Structure 1
Amino acid sequence: MRVLSQRLSTTLSYAFALLLGAALAAWILPPEMLVPRAGAGFAPQGDAAQHAIAQRYFIGDAWRWPPLLAANILPPEGLNIAFSDGIPLLALPIKALRALLPDGFHGIGLWYAIAWTLQPVAAVWCLRGTGERRLLPAVAIALAASAMPAFINRYGHAALTGHFTILAGLGLYLRLVRAPSVALWGAAVIASVATLLVHPYLAAMVLALLGAVPATLLLRGDRRWIGAAAGVAACAAGVGGTMAAFGYLGAQGDGGYGDFALNLLSPVWPYRSWVLGGFAAREIDATGHGGWEGYNWLGLGLVAGLLAVAVLAPRQALEVLRRHAGLALVLAGLTAIAVSFRLGVGEAVVLDLGKPPGFLEQFRASGRFFWPVGLAMLVATVALLARLPRIGVPLVLALGVAQFADAQPNRQAMHDWAHLREPWTVDAPALRRLLAGAESVAVFPTWPCVPKPDTFGDHVRQLQVLSLAAERPVPANTMYVARWRGERPRCDDATAMARPIAPGELRIILPGARQAAMAAGACTEVGDILACRRP
């Protein structure tokens, strides 16, 4: 009878989490976002446009080596879609199934649905790793995890909504320190590689959490730390081998570690809180770069839960820290990376430690590294409070409901963003007709040559032209990338525009390059841009 009851609790726990995540995804994401097609009457925006362009070019190209290469854009090297955040983990199976999918299909909207559906499911799995297997605490953590503000607020960047991968890493840690096995470490290797193919930032977080396993066992005096260290080495080898095989190595970005850091007030700064949002009209920022990347408001339910732990279960909390000292050290290290070498408190930098080591420049958006800390706090808080006699379960249910309700402004912001139908700033029908007869498209100014600040809006126009070209896709000369191999791409538009227009080439001249290209060839005005072809 007891076994039957446990199985029922397990089934209902996961069923609730799955239905909750699916219901939220269905409410937030419109059908045309889940199943995009060529010929949309509205323009994709910002980073989401970048991701969709990368996937469409990759899906429309032949299979190549390295496997993530799209040779039909950014000649002669081509584009590794990981450098434009194209979510390779999803793009690879979509490419394999492209014959069955609509023209112009990409998986960016689908990834949002996957992330929202799996977030509460992964939270329940993670909580069960603490030994808490009852239904009502599972309901509480599913509600709370789906409402973590840092998770919801990533809606502009599809790959980084994959916070369920962090919960998976934390759940693996909890199981590996209790009963490590070859099968579990094999799952950890697979999870590490899969997370890399979502986004390298998330992979670094998962590897850090797995690295806490041998640290915790060592600090407990448990000899199994040696085998755990070998397991972590296998995870790192899997990630490193995949990076080498898939063309990640040698990539670099713009640097600027510390520009997008965690402000020390951010975890308690209630921006977009339903209850306390009146006290915080915007993100807190001390660096002058905006506080979006460092946004880490913990949520009303979690903050209240942490206070309840401090009052009602301080000894138990200290015992958990002692038992999981390796994890505590890793989370402290992630917090230090998130804060960076420029310590921001409120709107002021109160401590500047100078130039950081060069390897940290790879983590420009360092504020993201607090995400595992917030999720670990949530899991620990629910697990600790749920064990309190009599009041524990009602308390964690109240925590989950409060967290969920308090996140409504954040959910509404994502819903509104997903349903936004921004008009094209370029003449999309005319450009589609021109692109239909083109063998290639060359857009000027290219991405490295768009002036900063972008007075003419050429970056937006460029993304829109590429979005239209990617519907077929028509081979293109430029792309906005987050990282690149070797030196940063240089602006060399003068040389490129000086060459004659090739047969089949459609040359698009945006306002920022118009004066330099007046003699480019037979040009037609299409709104405020020029479309030129071979005379």
Structure 2
Amino acid sequence: MNNLEDSIYKSITKKELIKIFCVGSLIGSIVFLACYGWKILDVTNDSWLLTGQDISQHYIGWKFYRASAWHFPIGQIDGIIYPETSCIIFSDSIPLFAIFFKILSPILPETFQYFGIWGIATYLLVGGISAVIVRKSTESCWLCWIGSGFFCLSPYVFQRMYGHTALAGHWVILLAIGIWIYKPFFSTFRRKLAAWTGLLILGSLVHIYFIPMIMVFMFGFCLQDLFEKRGWKEDLVFAPVTVAVDLIVLYAVGAFSKSGGYSDSGLGVYSANLNSLFNPNNYAKYLKTLPIRPGQDEGFGYLGLGIIFLLGCALGIYIVYKVRCRKGIEQNFAKEIRRTQMAFGCSMVVVLFIFLILAWSPEIVFGTKTVMRIHYPEFILKILSTFRASGRFIWCVGYLIMTFCMMAVCYYGKRAVAMICMFGALLVQIADMQNMILIKKNNVCQEKSLQTIQSAEWEKLAKGKDHLVILPFSTVWQNQGISAAYEMGDFAVDHGMTINYFPLARTDLEQIALNDAEYMAGAVDGVSRDETMYILDTEEKGRNLGLDVYYVDGYYIGIAEN
């Protein structure tokens, strides 16, 4: 199915792939509109983004980035943790879209959000790419489109979309699988280099968690070349070049700018449970939720009841096929498949093993009990801590299972049997996903709920101010919650002010704490007390700073009167 140039592969034409992709994309867009509606596609409608959830961070990060002057690196944001700078990568604002729309900013409306566009583009690409992948194992367009329906109903995309929105871009993972599945086409050095370099850059500009995922798939692709003893010497050149080019792009965007450490705590907490592939975690309609530890919802890997059913069908069809081979039916073809697919099978097993170990480790847990702990060297732990939510690697395992279930059913089964199995499993998947679809539909129907700031007094006090300073910086999010911290950031950017703290994925909290002392002494360059609006933890602190203190909506606001 991978490197076998059989009659199915030879029957594929460019025109047909375009048709399959377009119809698959249409299926994806229909699923998106049915689940999320039309309203969020209005680029001037941002009320659904200001709910105090993670999507608020992404949107407000974009607003700060749009308001920032152009710098090098081009993804640099000033004003969001003033006087420090950050990068659009660390607000999870989808750098690929943020940079593009910042270029267009002068012609865009004053209020502009691209998250609705991102959502429908994601479903469109997931539907189209998955249909093309399934085509590698069948000549039936209908089976391709039924197969794309499973991917468009991916529990992983539903869980992440408009939560950790950039992480819903699973078309990146499907592209990696697609390049590998269509290996005969990508066998030349130029095509390998172009495909993997382009994909790695795309993944980096969507979310940095896609970088290691793509690199593991690329490793499997190269490992297959080694097993086949062809093209592997080229891989020694193209793989390092691909990584080097991506590092240059990341540098140009600002991934290595001073924004805090790249490692973070939580490795092993945000892992995948051993039961994750079959644990609906309160999202599905039929199967019972299994116990997990706190934080392991990051490793949500539920396949869906339809895919579980299809997995059983795939195993049954393959067993029947093997029995037919033993009886001498299709014996010669079976030998050809064994010879050409051995390298692919071995490299795929290695890739699955890597993804499973990354997702489960370093503490492997079943339910709430620790099965074992992997003791990595310190330098390995530092690397892994950069991607502390290791449970997310289970998505790659899930997509590989989904892909090969469908391909096995289509490739080894008769067309009528495959059609019945695929369509029946899709109906089961739709029924099982009802609860998750309703949850997501209700979430995007929420209106603006950032309502800490209610009094008109805020507008009066903010007049003529250039900076919003929270002293100490942790006052708002510790006392009022993270949604209040988002609201402060939104208030600041809407009033043309900088802010000294905003919750980001990576922040140098030690440096921000040091800045607190300088703010207290009035020693921060370019920050005049007359131009600053202070949010204080106590009234006394404001008096000590010589400020007039107002108590508004539960906050002590300090102003230096002229």
Please report the TM-score for the alignment, with normalisation by the length of structure 2: 0.84
Instruction: Measure the CA separation in 1 of the matches of 2:141 and 2:48.
Output: 45
Instruction: Measure the CA separation in 1 of the matches of 2:239 and 2:12.
Output: 36
Q: How does 1:175-324 map to 2 (within 5 A)?
A: 175-176=182-183, 179-181=186-188, 182-220=190-228, 222-249=229-256, 251-272=261-282, 274-277=284-287, 279-280=288-289, 284-286=291-293, 289-314=294-319, 323-324=344-345
Distance 1:432 1:321, change over 3 A: farther
Partner of 1:344: 365
Range 267-276 or range 484-493, more displaced = 484-493
Distance 1:360 1:492, change over 3 A: same
Partner of 2:124: 117
Displacement of 1:409 = 1.4
Contact 1:127 1:379 in 2 (8 A): yes
Displacement of 1:229 = 3.8
The one-letter code sitting in structure 1 at the alignment partner of 2:406 is V
SS of 1:176's partner is coil
The one-letter code sitting in structure 2 at the alignment partner of 1:373 is V
The one-letter code sitting in structure 2 at the alignment partner of 1:504 is E
Displacement of 1:73 = 2.4
Partner of 2:408: 384
Displacement of 1:506 = 1.8
Range 26-35 or range 458-467, more displaced = 26-35
Range 320-329 or range 119-128, more displaced = 320-329
Counterpart check, 1:329 vs 2:336: no
Question: Over residues 376-416 of structure 1, what are the superposed CA-to-partner deviations in whole Å (9 max), with x where a residue is unaligned?
Answer: 11111111101211412221222233223322211221111
Instruction: Measure the CA separation in 2 of the matches of 1:515 and 1:36.
Output: 44
Q: How does 1:394-409 map to 2 (within 5 A)?
A: 394-409=420-435
Displacement of 1:175 = 2.1
Instruction: Measure the CA separation in 2 of the matches of 1:35 and 1:347.
Output: 44
Cα RMSD between the aligned structures? 3.0
- The percent of aligned pairs where both chains have the same amino acid is 21
Distance 1:68 1:297, change over 3 A: same
SS of 1:391's partner is helix
Displacement of 1:313 = 0.5
Contact 2:272 2:299 in 1 (8 A): yes
Instruction: Measure the CA separation in 1 of the matches of 2:240 and 2:133.
Output: 23
Distance 1:139 1:498, change over 3 A: same
Equivalent in 130, 138, 141 of residue 135 of structure 1 = 141
Displacement of 1:445 = 3.8
Counterpart check, 1:353 vs 2:374: yes
Distance 1:36 1:183, change over 3 A: same
Distance 1:273 1:478, change over 3 A: closer
Displacement of 1:244 = 2.5
Distance 1:301 1:353, change over 3 A: same
Displacement of 1:54 = 1.2
Contact 1:176 1:184 in 2 (8 A): no
The one-letter code sitting in structure 1 at the alignment partner of 2:80 is I
Displacement of 1:368 = 0.2
Q: How does 1:35-54 map to 2 (within 5 A)?
A: 35-37=42-44, 40=47, 43-54=50-61
The one-letter code sitting in structure 2 at the alignment partner of 1:467 is D
SS of 1:313's partner is helix
Range 330-339 or range 469-478, more displaced = 469-478
Partner of 2:330: none
Displacement of 1:240 = 1.5
Counterpart check, 1:75 vs 2:82: yes
Distance 1:135 1:513, change over 3 A: farther
Instruction: Measure the CA separation in 2 of the matches of 1:441 and 1:480.
Output: 15
Instruction: Measure the CA separation in 2 of the matches of 1:229 and 1:488.
Output: 41
The one-letter code sitting in structure 1 at the alignment partner of 2:276 is S
Instruction: Measure the CA separation in 1 of the matches of 2:220 and 2:254.
Output: 28
Instruction: Measure the CA separation in 2 of the matches of 1:309 and 1:39.
Output: 45
Displacement of 1:4 = 11
Question: Over residues 276-304 of structure 1, what are the superposed CA-to-partner deviations in whole Å (9 max), with x where a residue is unaligned?
Answer: 24x12xx7423xx3332011111111111
Range 185-194 or range 426-435, more displaced = 426-435
Partner of 1:367: 391
Counterpart check, 1:504 vs 2:510: no
Q: How does 1:518-533 map to 2 (within 5 A)?
A: 519-520=544-545, 521-533=547-559
Contact 2:224 2:343 in 1 (8 A): no
Distance 1:178 1:100, change over 3 A: closer
Contact 2:500 2:512 in 1 (8 A): no
Displacement of 1:199 = 0.6
Displacement of 1:531 = 2.9
Partner of 2:150: 144
Q: How does 1:382-461 map to 2 (within 5 A)?
A: 382-387=406-411, 388-389=413-414, 390-428=416-454, 430=456, 431-432=458-459, 434-435=461-462, 437-447=464-474, 454=478, 456-461=479-484
Displacement of 1:108 = 3.0
Displacement of 1:261 = 0.5
Contact 1:71 1:77 in 2 (8 A): yes
Distance 1:178 1:442, change over 3 A: same
Contact 2:65 2:88 in 1 (8 A): yes
How many pairs align? 521
Q: How does 1:4-15 map to 2 (within 5 A)?
A: 10=17, 12-15=19-22
Instruction: Measure the CA separation in 1 of the matches of 2:345 and 2:459.
Output: 58
Contact 2:285 2:435 in 1 (8 A): no
Instruction: Measure the CA separation in 2 of the matches of 1:42 and 1:185.
Output: 38
Unaligned runs of 5+ in 1: none
Partner of 2:494: 471
Question: Over residues 418-437 of structure 1, what are the superposed CA-to-partner deviations in whole Å (9 max), with x where a residue is unaligned?
Answer: 11125333124633564454
Instruction: Measure the CA separation in 1 of the matches of 2:184 and 2:541.
Output: 64
Range 246-255 or range 76-85, more displaced = 246-255
Contact 2:363 2:373 in 1 (8 A): yes
Instruction: Measure the CA separation in 2 of the matches of 1:87 and 1:343.
Output: 31
Distance 1:148 1:41, change over 3 A: closer
Higher alpha-carbon Rg:
2
The one-letter code sitting in structure 1 at the alignment partner of 2:346 is A
Contact 1:152 1:411 in 2 (8 A): yes
Distance 1:407 1:435, change over 3 A: farther
The one-letter code sitting in structure 2 at the alignment partner of 1:349 is T
Contact 2:52 2:484 in 1 (8 A): no
Please report the TM-score for the alignment, with normalisation by the length of structure 1: 0.88
The one-letter code sitting in structure 2 at the alignment partner of 1:276 is Y
Instruction: Measure the CA separation in 2 of the matches of 1:41 and 1:212.
Output: 41
Distance 1:38 1:471, change over 3 A: farther
Unaligned runs of 5+ in 2: 1-7, 323-333
